[in-house]
Amino acid sequence: MNRVAKAPRLPEPPPPSEAVRLAEALIFCAPSPLTAADLAVRLPPGTDVPAVLAEIARAYAARGLTLARIAGGYAFRTAPDLAPVLRGGLPEPRKLSRAALETLAIVAYHQPVTRAEIEEIRGVTTSKGSLDLLLETGWVRLRGRRRTPGRPVTYGTTPAFLDHFGLDAVSDLPGLDELKGLGLIEGRLPAGFRVPQPGDEAQADEDPIADSLAPGDAAAD
């Protein structure tokens, strides 16, 4: 009588360390993405933060939540392949007008950009309401003032913008080939047409603006 050999029992994976458990809890409870520096302050001294993050990412790789790098920090997000299933049960988000969407795209790709530059790119006057709405959503901020006559205000995107669109940095915005692949750019393009490489670095001709400046001051430029 032949006996079927039993498969060797694989060892159980070691339980997560206290540092991993604590980091997991901190990220889960945080209202916004946490950076590695944020975690280092809260974790035991000497903790290898990159290794802890790698372990959390590995543990959640095949689960309903994944560890995502967003706006320079880390947060748990729904696994991308589950998004179509979950979307139907969520309330419809507030939709932006076409003018507001165009303005947001210009700010994202051309930042730092002034209101006059936005109007030049769009070819139409930009209403105060569109910029105020974007400021109120928290996706656009007042960056600074240009060192030019009139000292116009410059606009840029915020960490909340990156968080909402699942980006780690504005440089992760889709380029020309990706926009074509998404069907957002069709037909023949003018010679020399290009999508600007977005960035949020400070510019030499730009002075920082006080964070306390109210959204209503956007019209001051």
pLDDT in tens for each of the 221 residues of the chain?
455 556 556 544 445 588 999 999 999 999 889 999 999 999 988 889 999 999 999 999 889 889 999 888 999 988 888 877 776 555 555 677 888 888 888 888 888 888 988 888 888 777 778 888 899 888 999 988 888 888 898 999 998 888 888 888 888 887 766 665 655 555 554 455 455 666 666 677 777 776 434 444 444 45
Per-residue burial over 150-177, b if 16 or more Cβ lie within 10 Å, else e, is eebbbbbbbbebbbeeebeebeebeeee
Cis peptide before 44 (omega within 30 of 0): no
For residue 127, CA distances in Å to 61, 104, 123, 132 come to 45, 13, 13, 9
CB contact set of 165 (below 8 Å; sequence gap of 6+): none
∠ CA(75), CA(78), CA(81), 5° rounding?
135
Q: What is the pLDDT of residue 195?
A: 55
| Residue in this structure with the two tokens 């950009």, named with its chain if needed | 113
Contact 204, 198 (CB under 8 A): no
Structural domains of the chain in order of their starting residue, each with its CATH number: 18-84 (1.10.10.10), 98-220 (1.10.10.10)
Q: What count of other Cβ atoms lies within 10 Å of the Cβ of residue 216? A: 10
β-strand partners of 157: 140
Name the percent of the chain in helix, strand, coil, to the closest 5: 40, 15, 45
Q: What is the pLDDT of residue 53?
A: 94
Could you tell me the pTM of the whole model? 0.60
What counts of helices (H) and strands (E) characterise the chain?
Answer: 9, 6
